Structure 1
Amino acid sequence: MKRFWAATSAVPEGSDFAIRLDSRPLKLPSGRALTVPFEPLAAAIATEWATVGTNFTPDDLPLTRLATTAQDRVRLHRAEIAGQLAAYGMNDLLCYRAEGPPGLARREAEEWDPWIGWLDQRLGIRLKSTSGVMPLQQAPEYRDTFTTCLMQMDEYQLAGLGVIVPALGSLVLALAVEAGALDPDTACRCAGLGELWQETHWGMDAEAAARRRIIAEDVAVSACFMVLCRA
């Protein structure tokens, strides 16, 4: 896509805030003008469009993309999306531990057990863990508890979690990021513990490192989005 505007602004529109490209409203793919109920988010989206280059793609506008997802998808399918995210919690990354070497297993326990405990304190869910890849059967009622927690969030928080949860492979870590208990960089390092351990002992895998950088960027932007949607 090619830039056609010179200036951007965020302006009040009823109880919401609209984004203008020069004097034109920024529109969603559906054709409806984009408005958001959070002034900081509107300002950040306006800045995003102000700083984009002459030629750009939707990937250059992650906050806009998340707001669009919240309004055009999550708002219409909240229960379905909450259920999909809850399923991650029933097979959370933190539940599947390395069988060895002992140093890695010990590191996973040190890094992951506190978040299993955090989840228990927050939601009364005490997830079981195992060594290896055979699937665990968690208590069936945990799915309902996860779903209830997620359904209490608005479409904007769910849109952010919709990126963070699959990126990390962990609903537990994602909920901690959403709650402000865990910063995005630490969450990514925690989720990538196995790869980082291997690189420490066997050298860097350039492809894996590049993938982790992309994940870290996506998680950071999504966490920022959720913060902007609390103001």
Structure 2
Amino acid sequence: MRELFDEVAGKSPLDPREASRKSSRTPLRKRFYTSAGVAEGPDGFAVTLDGKPVRTPGRNPLAAPTRDLAEAMAAEWEAQKENIDPMAMPLTRLANSVIDGVAKDVQAVADDAAKYFETDLLFYRAGFPEALIARQAEHWDPVLRWAAESLGAHFILTEGVIHVRQPETAVAAARGALPTDAWPVGAFHVVTTITGSAMLALALKHGVLDGAQVWAAAHVDEDWNSEKWGADDEVEARRATRLRDFEAAARVLKAFS
């Protein structure tokens, strides 16, 4: 049984996408249970299979702090057909990462995500064409205005990709708005690494943008290129996989907002 959960969850404490890549190279296992459910216990709301608790690769109970999240995980297990497809279980993978990895050193994970405040996607703007400049501003400027007005975080924008050092006061102000508990920190890290922007993750966490708006903002440049040159099937497939993980992380952040 242990091998099954290793395949479903992966072994990376920070990046469920790496778990997805590992799982995609592993033959799928047959479904071995009749039904999935949720049971409240000392660890929170635990996922059960035929009434028996599920365990993570680290042998911890697969349990969420809220019933809603636990029921969403149970639904992932219930939705499996003849075979168990880890790619279709993003919330379970995220939960395992949080329980086995993030919870052991929450501050280290938060610090890793906070590094993006130094080189965030939103700080580096196109120099041309004018339409792309305008589109970036439309999606990104509201987040930066909110950070300046609500957090006192005033960041420096630049054109191109040459690194610009951000004010320490701005970085510190943004870091002060990060979540502090394992589940939202793990979800924040996933959103940050998928989008390339801790600022967008912060906007999602604080309700400045919803999930669809954050996803669109993170893909302004990619969507622009697709409109001009056409979409690439492989790129679209990878994007669909990232979207599943993003939506799972966004759901967790919303649960703790």
TM-score (norm 1): 0.90
**What amino acid is aligned across from residue 186 of structure 2 in structure 1?**
A
Q: Are the structure 2 counterparts of residues 34 and 210 from structure 1 closer, same or farther at C-alpha, using a change threshold of 3 Å?
A: closer
Check conservation: 1:28, 1:68, Cα contact below 8 A. yes
In the alignment, what sits opposite 1:48? 76
Report the residue type matching 1:158 in the other structure. V
Aligned to 1:70: 98
Rounded to whole Å, the distance in 2 between the matches of 1:31 and 1:140 is 41
Does structure 2 conserve the Cα–Cα contact (< 8 Å) formed by 1:17 and 1:36? Answer: yes
> 1:6-85 maps to which residues of 2 (within 5 A)?
6-14=34-42, 16-85=44-113
Match of 1:87 in 2: 115
AA at the equivalent of 1:216: L
**What is the number of residues matched between the two proteins?**
229
Name stretches of at least 5 consecutive residues in structure 2 with no aligned partner. Answer: 1-28
Aligned residue in 1 for 2:162: 134
Letter in 1 for 2:198: L
> Is the aligned partner of 1:154 residue 2:186?
no
Q: Which whole-Å CA distance do the structure 2 matches of 1:36 and 1:201 have between them?
A: 44
How far does residue 221 in structure 1 lie from its aligned partner after superposition?
Answer: 1.9
Unpaired runs of at least 5, structure 1: none
Equivalent of 2:241, from 202, 211, 214?
214
Amino acid at match of 1:168: T
Give the whole-Å Cα distance in 2 for the aligned partners of 1:42 and 1:123: 33
- Measured after TM superposition, the shift of residue 15 of structure 1 is 6.8
Letter in 1 for 2:163: P
Contact 1:41 1:229 in 2 (8 A): no
Give the corresponding residue for 2:18. none
Q: C-alpha deviations, 1:17-66, integer Å up to 9, x for none?
A: 22211132111111222222211111111111111122124322211111
1:5 aligns with 2:33: yes
Amino acid paired to 1:104: L
Contact 1:90/1:142 (8 A) holds in 2: no
Q: How far apart, CA to CA, are the structure 1 residues paired with 2:127 and 2:233?
A: 25
Instruction: Classify 1:36/1:204 alpha carbon distance in 2 versus 1 (closer, same or farther; 3 Å).
Output: closer
For the residues of structure 2 that align with 1:56 and 1:88, how far apart are their CA atoms? 35
CA deviation after TM superposition for structure 1 residue 135, in Å: 0.3
Q: What is the percent sequence identity of the aligned residues?
A: 33
C-alpha displacement at 1:129, in angstroms? 0.6
| Aligned CA distance change for structure 1 residues 16 and 202 (closer, same or farther; 3 Å) | closer
Counterpart of 1:224 in structure 2 is 251
Q: Distance in 2 between matches of 1:18 and 1:197?
A: 43
Q: Cα RMSD (Å) of the superposition?
A: 1.9
- The CA distance in 1 between the partners of 2:138 and 2:253, in whole Å, is 28
Once the two structures are superposed, what CA deviation does each residue of 1:43-96 show, in whole Å capped at 9, x if it has no partner? 111111111122124322211111111121111121111111111112110100
Give the residue type in structure 1 aligned to 2:221: G
Supply the distance in 2 between the matched residues of 1:70 and 1:27 (Cα, whole angstroms). 13
Secondary structure of the corresponding residue to residue 182 of structure 1:
coil
Q: Is the 8 A contact 2:33 2:49 kept in 1?
A: yes
Q: Which amino acid aligns with 1:113?
A: D
CA contact (8 A) 2:91 2:248 kept: yes
Cα 1:153–1:205 change in 2 (3 A) is: same
Q: Distance in 1 between matches of 2:136 and 2:61?
A: 47
Task: Write out the 4+ residue segments of structure 1 that deviate beyond 4 Å after TM superposition.
Answer: none
